[in-house]
Amino acid sequence: NLDATLEQLQKLKNEKQGENQTESIPAESNGTSVTTTTGASLSNDNRHLNDSNTSQTLNQDTLLSMRESNVSGAEIISNLVSNSSTFHTKTSFSQKKYLTRKSQKHQPRCRIIRCTPASVTSALYLKDSRRLMNLRE
């Protein structure tokens, strides 16, 4: 049951019963309120960062338990940022990229669009192009 207008961005929330509930969010917002900073003490690049998967202190089990207890995606992202030892030393571009990736993973969204023949065929083409025999609009 969606009480939303067309072209409005919806943030999906998973419930334990398997039922998806939605919440309206502004179109320009990405749902996170983490401020990005630049590593001014070091040079303005990421050369000093070591990609050894040891900078994040949260493990997968903790993230799964947070998801099962219905913690919001924004809270999960802020916990990931606060438990990352290298987030504040990254460049502002890398910080924004990290936040974008994590919001895409932990904050699923959908947009309700008007059902037209063109939108139906493009959705079917993206889902299974062989069913349409590779025909386009």
Condensed to tens digits (0 to 9), the pLDDT of residues 12-44 reads 766 554 444 555 555 445 555 555 554 444 456
Asked if residue 83 belongs to a domain, the reply is yes
Token pair, residue 92, equals 């502002």
Contact status, residue 16 vs residue 63, Cβ threshold 8 Å: no
Asked if residue 1 belongs to a domain, the reply is no
- Run of H or E including 122: helix 117-127
Asked if residue 64 belongs to a domain, the reply is yes
Strand pairing category for 9-14 and 20-24: antiparallel
Asked if residue 3 belongs to a domain, the reply is no
Asked if residue 133 belongs to a domain, the reply is no
pLDDT, residue 33, reads 52
pLDDT band of 72, cuts 50, 70, 90 = confident
Enclosing domain of residue 71: 9-127
Q: Per the structure, how many domains does the chain have? A: 1
Asked if residue 46 belongs to a domain, the reply is yes
Asked if residue 134 belongs to a domain, the reply is no
Reply yes or no on whether the pLDDT at 3 is more than 50.
yes
